[in-house]
Amino acid sequence: MARIRQALPAASEIESLIDDRGQLKVRVTPGARTDDVSLVEGQLAVKTRAKPQDGAANEAVMAVVAKALGLAPSKVELLRGQTSRQKVLRITR
C-alpha cells in the first residue's frame, strides 16, 4: 500500500513564525511513520521517520524545515534542543 504524501504548509505560514532574530521554535516527533510538517497551536510541528540516535533526527528535521521553506539545508541551524523535542532553529536567508 502506497503512503499518501501530505502537503506541506505554505512557506509564508512558516515564515510568519520566525522571530526578528531568525529563530523558529519547532516541536519534533522522531520515529514517526512518515515525515510531516504541520502548524499546531501556533507552533511548527515536525514528524520524522529518523530515530533520535547520533543526531539523525535533528538532521532530518533541519532538512524537512529547509524543504518546507524552499531553502538550502545549510540555511537551517540547530541552536537549542539537541536532545529535546522542543527545538529552536536559526533560519538564514
Concatenated DSSP letters of 48-82: -SS-SSTTHHHHHHHHHHHHHHT--GGGEEEEE-T
Q: What is the model's pTM? A: 0.88
- Of 88, 84, 92, 11, nearest to 52 by C-alpha is 84
**20 pLDDT above the threshold of 80:** yes
Indicate the length of the chain as a whole number: 93
pLDDT tens digits, 62-82: 999 999 999 999 999 999 999
Which three cell numbers, joined as nine digits, stand for 1?
500500500
Q: Using DSSP, state whether 2 is helix, strand or coil.
A: coil
Which three cell numbers, joined as nine digits, stand for 93?
536567508
